[in-house]
Chains A and B, each alone.
Chain A
Amino acid sequence: MRYTDFTPNDILLLLQGLGVSAALFAATTAIGLLIGLSWAVLRYYRVPLLAPLFAAVAELLKNSPVLVQLFLVFFGLPVLLETDVTPVQAAVITLSGNTAAFIYIIAVSAIESVGREQLETARVFGLTRWQTLRRVVAPQAAAFGLGPLTGLLVNQLQVTSLISVVGVLDLTRMGAILNLRTLKPFIVWTVVGLLYYLMAKLIAKTCARLETRLRAHTAWKGL
């Protein structure tokens, strides 16, 4: 057997990479969701200084390449703060921050999609601003935001492939290793691409199912 042949072990290698990509995607989506939503809440309450600050941060993150953000965190931060940053830490920080920026933008437009008259009505009924957010705005904004959120998540899954550049052993990195060893780029990159494609479809399908459930209450079913 020559070293360029595929072995059963290569499947394990790819699956391991797939696991790393999926885990980092899930973790950074959760963190990004939390950060992005809290920025949106700060804006909802119109907190001085903080609200405009995070709006500016989100703009910066949205309009610069993720690769550059990753280099800034992985190569720049350790020198500036004189600490060590591992590839996985850099990946988590960068991807979470980037996801947060886009979640913030989606959340803001979703909150704004809820009509002003509803806010006024809620106030007349004596609801506090938090109760209004929790009971009136959030359920409708969630249903409104799920469409854009699906697109974002499918996109963020693909963005995770960039962390291979700083040495995280994700699916793309495993592909690069196999590509180098087997010298069969067509097969390797087709399989890697297919795995990403299937993951993307899984995400889209899960979101679509969730959206049907969230919209169940708004659909007119007759009296």
Chain B
Amino acid sequence: MTFDPTILAPYLGDLAAGARLTALACALALAGALALGIAVALMRTAASAPARRAADIYVDVFRNVPFIVQLFFLFYGLPEIGLELDAFSTGVLALSLAGGAYTSDAIRAGILAIEPGVLEAAQVSGLPRRVIYRRIVLPIALRTSVRPLGAVFVNLILTSSILSAITLNELTGTAKIVAADTFQPFEVYAALLLAYVTLTYIVSLSAGALHRRLNRDRAMGSG
């Protein structure tokens, strides 16, 4: 039994490049998932029944089918209909679609938590619906759901490791190459595990700090 983490030293550059690709994919997917999540959350809380139903079906499907199946569906299926995307774009698309289902849950909870009095006040002030949504509903809903959104982002980062299954050399994909190169898989994957733990820990801490900062003026219980 040998354990020698120093064998990683020559590969740190490669691993850093992989980590950058993971970070880029996750940042883009977070943006996509947020945009989708906001739209879907608005649909799920809308007055129109068909809109609510369509949004609910989307969330139900994407939450109950494994991510790797969704990923393969897109990766092998999209070229069939003439949409040639590279592995990175397919990965970001798949992460955004799956992430959107989870972000919409967090944002919807934020919308439902808005006191009715606030909305009534906005309505009697004669504000148009668009303005109420843009200036009142979304800002309040988003700031109260920063912490749950942080948890969704952490999951997104963990899920992004699956992109290595469609030949993308992000952090996990790079580690696979390093493990094959060094014949020391235990050291490589142990280090990889710690890298993800550190990354997600920083994200959770930042989300917590941002949540407290944005909700400073609120009553206790939110901090």
Contact = CB atoms under 8 A, between A and B. Distances in A.
Contact of A175 (B69, B158, B161, B193): B69
Interface string B73-93: 100110010000000000000
Given A63-B200, A154-B64, A179 B76 contact: yes
A79 B201 contact: no
Interface in B42-65: 61, 63-65
Contacts of B190: 72, 76
A154 B183 CA distance: 36
A39 to B, nearest CB: 18
B64 A68 contact: no
B212 interface: no
Interface string B89-104: 0000000000000000
B66 A196 contact: yes
Interface of B: 1-3, 61, 63-70, 72-73, 76-77, 80, 154, 158-159, 161-162, 164-165, 172, 175-176, 179, 183-190, 192-193, 196-197, 200-201
Contact of B68 (A69, A72, A164, A197): A164
Given A65-B161, A164-B68, A193 B73 contact: yes
Interface in A169-223: 172, 175-176, 179, 185-186, 189-190, 192-193, 196-197, 200-201
Nearest to B203: A63
Which 10 pairs across A and B sit closest by C-beta, in order of nearness? A76-B186, A185-B76, A65-B161, A161-B66, A75-B185, A189-B73, A158-B66, A72-B189, A200-B64, A193-B65
A76 B70 CA distance: 28
A176 B72 CA distance: 8
Contact of A196 (B69, B184, B193): B69
A179 B196 CA distance: 31
Given A76-B186, A80-B3, A154-B64, A64 B197 contact: yes
A207 to B, nearest CB: 14
Interface of A: 59-60, 63-69, 71-72, 75-77, 79-82, 154, 157-162, 164-165, 172, 175-176, 179, 185-186, 189-190, 192-193, 196-197, 200-201
A141 to B, nearest CB: 23
A201 B154 CA distance: 25
Contacts of A160: 66
19 contacts: A63-B158, A63-B197, A64-B200, A66-B158, A68-B172, A68-B192, A72-B193, A75-B185, A79-B184, A79-B185, A80-B2, A80-B186, A158-B64, A161-B69, A176-B72, A179-B72, A185-B72, A185-B77, A189-B72
A165 B161 contact: no
Contacts of A189: 69, 72-73, 76-77
Nearest to A69: B193
B185 A186 contact: no
User: Which of A76, A82, A165, A196 counts the most B-chain CB atoms under 10 A from its CB?
Assistant: A76
A154 B101 CA distance: 15
Most chain B CB inside 10 Å of its own CB: which residue of A63, A81, A154, A159: A63
B186 A72 contact: yes
A164 B72 CA distance: 12
